[in-house]
Amino acid sequence: MSVEIIPPSRRTCERCGRIDVWDDDAENWVIAEEDGQRRVGNRHCIHEWDINGRYNPIDGQMEGGAAAGGGAPTETGDGGDGVEADADEGHDA
C-alpha cells in the first residue's frame, strides 16, 4: 500500500495576517494576492504560521473535512510538523 503525502498550498500568519501560497514554478512560498492586493502583513513580524495538527498531509484535509488545495484556497499549515518557515525557505518548511 502506497501513501501519498499532500503538502499544504496556503499558510497564514496568525499575528499579522500575511498569506503565502505555494508556487510550483518557483518551488517556494510566495506572498498571496487577493483582490489585487499583496497580503504582506508586517515585514517585521516573526511569523506565526497557522501550523498545527489540524492539517492531515495524508488525505489533504483539515480536521473537520475542509479540503486543502485544488479548489478554493484554505488555511493550512505545513503538515503539522511544527517547523516555522518564512517565504524564502523551501516548501518542506
Asked if residue 30 is part of any domain, the answer here is: yes
Structure confidence by residue, pLDDT tens digits, 64-86: 555 444 333 344 444 444 444 44
Structure confidence by residue, pLDDT tens digits, 42-56: 989 999 998 777 777
How deeply is 55 buried, as exposed, middle or buried, from its count of CB atoms within 10 A (0-12, 13-18, 19+)? Answer: buried
pTM: 0.57
The number of domains in the chain is: 1
Residue 55: all three cell numbers together: 492539517
Asked if residue 72 is part of any domain, the answer here is: no
Give the domain extent around 22.
Answer: 10-49
CA distances from 31 to 19, 20, 28, 58 (A): 6, 4, 10, 25
Asked if residue 82 is part of any domain, the answer here is: no
- The residue count of the chain comes to 93
pLDDT-derived band at 60 (thresholds 50, 70, 90) equals: low
Task: In whole angstroms, give the CA distance from residue 62 to residue 54.
Answer: 5
Question: Of all residues in the chain, what percent carry a pLDDT higher than 90?
Answer: 42
